Structure 1
Amino acid sequence: MKNILFVDDEVNVLNGLRRMLRNRKTEWNMVFVDSGNKALELLEETAFDVVVSDMRMPGMSGARLLANIRGKYPRMTRIALSGYSDTEMILESIKATHLFIAKPADATTLSSLIERSLSIQSIIQDPELCDFISGISSLPSVPVIYEKLVRILASKDASIDQVAQLIASDISMSVKLLQIVNSAYFGLAREIVSPAEATAHLGLDVIKSLVLSIKVFEKFEEEIDTRCLNNIWHRSQLVGNIAKKIARKEGFSQKEADQLLIAGMLQDLGELVMLQYFPDSLAENAQWNDINDGDAILQEKQAIGVSHDQISVYLLRLWGIPQQVVECVAYHHSSAHFDSNELSMPHILFCANVLAEDIINGTNLSEGLTEQGLVAEERLASWLLL
């Protein structure tokens, strides 16, 4: 049975949560405490899988509690519960929180967030690795893009269009803003998959706070392998654009095409994690694959115990990125999932990866799509004209 911890200084709120979730008692062991200090004392004795904490509490704020939990128990999924007027508090807790939900929380939304949090915990089996990756709150950005963004935001002439364009061109910034804007805290009637739209929704003042004050973004340091970083960035942009063009060619909706664009951009988020924290393993993996023409995914698992696509899926689900985007990312290197008679969105992203490799490396990998029956020859021929 999974252990869920709820923290709120208002007894009536805790009682309401207890009543609201009483039908989950057979699945979850739920504990309710009325202060951050009591929560930390309890955590020294009992392991919990998820914590749901109010933000505004006397003594120890929810932001401070979640920061403490992130440091000591990083694998715990941290959900912030706050009022719509608490944007300042939400921004303060952004580095320590995985998911956000607004008060008053309804049973369906809260249960869904908790279930989503619990479902990802089997993706990464190694406890230490899971602790480490769960503790990641954001990833560095391409230095040139980051530095330009800081310059623009610091100027008096900053425009939301300029800022949106820059953020939409960077993997790390894009995923962070999508995490924030798609959180249940904002209560949007629809999911936002465009980083530019997310930027416009949050507004210039919030973006300035995130970048200049809270410093939720950072840049890769100078000693990073810039060639590898540029390769990841270029390939992600290329795959996303190819996938979007195929989707529109095949009659998919504009929303679905936009989902494929961002899925292509975010699919190699795990490679950024490896570049930042396991650079030697990533370099060895690339060299090994070049020499042996081997299975890069298998080599990654042998090197650090997990592949970049598993890291990508884990973080995207943990951060609340729309499910359709995550599903596409999950299968971007696997053809076993696809039925050649049905062109699905994950199928399109997989094919876009193959076509991108043809462009980047001058290979003919796309021929395998027809040989394996994954794409009809006439369909592939039409794509090659895009």
Structure 2
Amino acid sequence: MHILFVGDEAILPPDLGDYLADLGEGTHLEKAASGRAAMAALSRTPFDVVIAGPASPNHSPADLLDQTRTLRPEAIRIALIDANSSVKAPAARLVGVAHRFLSLPLASEHLIEAIHSIDELREILDDPRLRALVGRIDNLPSPPQLYFTLMHALEDEERSSSADIAKLIAGDPAIAAKVLRMCNSAYFSNGRSISDLRSAVTRLGMATLRDLVLASEVFSMSSSLKIDRTELQRRSLLASRLPSRMLPETSAELGATAALLADIGLLLPGVRNERHPPEDGVEDDRPGHTEAGAYLLGLWGLPMPIVEAVAFHRQPQRSGQRSFWVPGAVHVAVALAAREPVDEQYLATLGVLPRLPAWRELAESLAALDTPAGRR
């Protein structure tokens, strides 16, 4: 395995060499102090992993990983985030090009686990069964165009004012109407009526509004399946409200979006609903809806942390992380929203089990808001 680190090598853990040595003689770490040096290295060597520090001369982390995607699309792209930085969340562009975010100070075991879990995820997304399933779908759901337009607008400071964002949403009257209706639901309005899109942008903030646009597009997808879309949307919106209380600000938006999309695979024909065990013990070899949903999101080009969390949210231990991050938060959020059991052994292993009662109480209070009594 060939690994390229770009940035100040002083931020690397001192025991990283020992961990890499355990991976075998074929593992090599190369260091580049600047983006220019990294591009030269990438041009001559097919690296398996590229790690971008918080800042490097000549290139921002987003530029570096974007060019890595072009030169070496097969490489795992990891961005290191300074937990003490005044910037509370990764830039929208960086979210789009990094497979995984790791916080500084960096622990060697977390880096190795990140590499292994992304490798496993790639195996899932390369599953011939999933490719065959998607290949048989006559009308594959198209990517949520308005959502991606908003993502690009947020990268452009000149187009990211509340008025400009409201104008973008207003360009699709059907989506705009659904967004306003959801803005006024008990989950989001806090009793305050929102009557125009600009007010929605101002009051809700871009992260929440973006997810409402995403929900409006996703749950309007055409599908031949008989599924209670209203209930699926209600449960997904509830789940999306919970990760912000479980994760640091640097990961909260990823968690919210992944929780919103966790069950998107249920909208695809030919999948196995993993919530319903087979009757009479009959074996069902169809792909599960979580992996099918993750595959679809991968085709759409959504950020890998979201794809990973959707793929692993029913079995979060498969993400291979020793810290509580997006896959774990999405597991808890979706389980609580659906009133399903939470994997308490997994939470205990990560040391966050004592937080579960508070999370459950939050989920129940939000769910109660959406009852007829709560809406009065």
| TM-score, normalised via structure 1 length | 0.43
| TM-score, normalised via structure 2 length | 0.44
